């Protein structure tokens, strides 16, 4: 099935996801008032809100001290295209 051939229900769900992501973008701006470098980080099937960079300049993960929140997003996958 091609993406252009979605059902009405699927189309509405995709619009809802877009609205949800737009809301996430607004929420991170609020968090950045207290933590200016806050960002989202996706690892495996979890989306994290971090207070700062996720890795040090030498590539070492800063996981423990920077995580503000984490929530499962399933099913999901990570990586770049």
Kindly report, residue by residue over 23-79, the tens digit of the pLDDT: 999 999 999 999 999 999 888 888 889 998 776 666 666 666 788 998 998 888 766
Structure confidence at residue 14 (pLDDT): 92
Please spell the DSSP secondary structure of 2-48, one letter per residue. -GGG--HHHHHHHHHHHHHHHHHHHHHHHHTTTSTT-EEEEETTEEE
Enumerate residues 6+ apart whose C-beta is below 8 A from 81.
none
pTM of whole model > 0.85?
Answer: no
Task: Enumerate the domain spans of the chain.
Answer: 3-72
| Model pLDDT, residue 57 | 62
**Other C-beta atoms lying within 10 Å of the C-beta of residue 19:** 10
If you average pLDDT over each of 3-7, 18-22, 62-66, which comes out highest? 18-22
Task: Return phi, psi of residue 28, to 5°.
Answer: -65, -30
- In this structure, what token pair is assigned to residue 52? 């700062």
């Amino acid at each position: 099935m091609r993406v252009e051939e979605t059902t009405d229900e699927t189309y509405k769900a995709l619009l809802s996801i877009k609205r949800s992501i737009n809301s996430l973008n607004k929420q991170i701006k609020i968090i950045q008032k207290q933590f200016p470098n806050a960002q989202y980080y996706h690892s495996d099937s979890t989306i994290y809100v971090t207070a700062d960079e996720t890795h040090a300049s030498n590539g070492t993960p800063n996981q423990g001290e920077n995580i503000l929140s984490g929530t499962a997003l399933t099913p999901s996958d990570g990586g770049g295209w």
